[in-house]
Chains A and B, each alone.
Chain A
């Protein structure tokens, strides 16, 4: 069991890849995506401050895509 398990895991991983199409955006086609204009968040500190205001002033929280702790401040 311990001999075949790593082989099975690898087979499953690569076997699963057969069903996925080949990645259709090649690394050399990523020019537009590397432009800062195509980032969801360009200014970490501004976005964190905004999310802090939202968490304090509104009832909803989470799934902001901004990593950071809450202050829970009252």
Chain B
């Protein structure tokens, strides 16, 4: 046997011997030999989604199928359509309303190795003038007796930017996302999670249709060609059955900051309760507030390298209230079920430094978000 092979066998045998002596008859708390992680159930799901607010209406169906091969590998595919009717404030102020369709497809593969789940995902979103494609890898592993889940993820995406009335693509953008998360069981009734994500963008990061305003005149916007952001989120979920039978309370806070000087705080609270054997009702409130990007201006009074009137980069806040109702019917065989969910959310957007040019007052609008999902697990 060649020397390298002998060395490999030697190392392997010593490793095995050490492992077996250390684990013989005991379950070391940090090494859980039992496989605690499982893949989610097989599923087929049909969704109807609607967003209606600020002159934009985007609605459509989505179909999702998830199938496992054995008990270690699962594949999933999703097809999602957004029929957009756009008469938003930007559009009506500087252009005319339009309709278009966006189609998004997602493919995923999950692989279970011991207590670790590896997930590979590919997604593609296509509009007549914008194509976004991304590939991502996520690794999640259960440690510490299954009480802690550590996850890491990475996504690389590429966009092709086009413009109506122009042949071909006018520009492109690249994105890198790095995610890390840790979920920890603190008690039989309390779970917390800490997530962090860093995003880097490069390329064309604006919109070819949006105009900025400098000295009252409309000029094409000038955005930086790079952006780097960080976000940290802390969430907690508590079983509150002692106060209200079969209920839970959820609290989340996220802090976001980037090198365009946008800082945002997101706070969300949610409650959930079982009603009888079949129903579950949920409620949520969410508040989001952000401070404007460095080069954002409603009406710039100086010439700067970068200038934008993108209201998504202005100082604004949004408050949302939502409710969800789920009904579950168990199937003939154990493990199968049919689930129907209806969700309604009302969002309020209030802008501080973006003027509605139709009324010359700070812009504000309300939006409704509706989702209906029919899901069968088998």
Interface positions of A (Cβ within 8 A of B): 2-3, 6-7, 10, 13-14, 16-17, 20, 22-27, 29-33, 35-40, 42-46, 49-50, 53-54, 56-65, 67-74
In the bound assembly, the distance between CA atoms of A26 and B145 in angstroms comes to 8
**Which residue of A has the minimal Cβ distance to B207?**
A74
Please tell me the size bucket of the interface on B.
35 or more
Q: Which of B25-33, B211-219, B356-364 lines the interface with chain A?
A: B25-33
Is the CB–CB distance between B239 and A60 below 8 Å? no
Within 8 Å CB of B15, what residues of A? 6, 10
Residue B231 contacts which of A32, A35, A61 (CB distance < 8 angstroms)?
A61
Q: Is the interface of A mostly helix, strand, loop or mixed?
A: loop
Q: Is B243 an interface residue (CB 8 A)?
A: no
Return chain A residues, CB-CB under 8 Å to B28. Answer: 14, 17
Enumerate chain A residues within 8 angstroms of B123, measured Cβ to Cβ: 68-69
B22→A14 contact, CB < 8 A:
yes
Structural contact, A62 and B177, CB atoms closer than 8 A: yes
Q: Do residues A59 and B191 form an inter-chain contact, with CB atoms below 8 A?
A: no
Given A32-B189, A72-B157, CB of A63 within 8 Å of CB of B233: yes
Contact B274 A37, beta carbon cutoff 8 Å: yes
Q: Is A7 within 8 A of B14, CB to CB?
A: yes
Q: Does B36 contact A (CB under 8 A)?
A: yes
Q: A62-B199, A70-B175 are in contact. Are A53 and B157 (CB under 8 A)?
A: no
CB–CB B130/A73 < 8 A: yes
Out of B130, B147, B237, name the residue touching A40 (CB < 8 Å).
Answer: B237
User: CB distance B256 to A60 under 8 Å?
Assistant: yes
Contact of A25 with B239 in the complex, beta carbons under 8 Å: no
Could you tell me the distance between the alpha carbons of A41 and B120 in the complex, rounded to whole angstroms? 20
A47 to chain B, nearest CB (A): 10
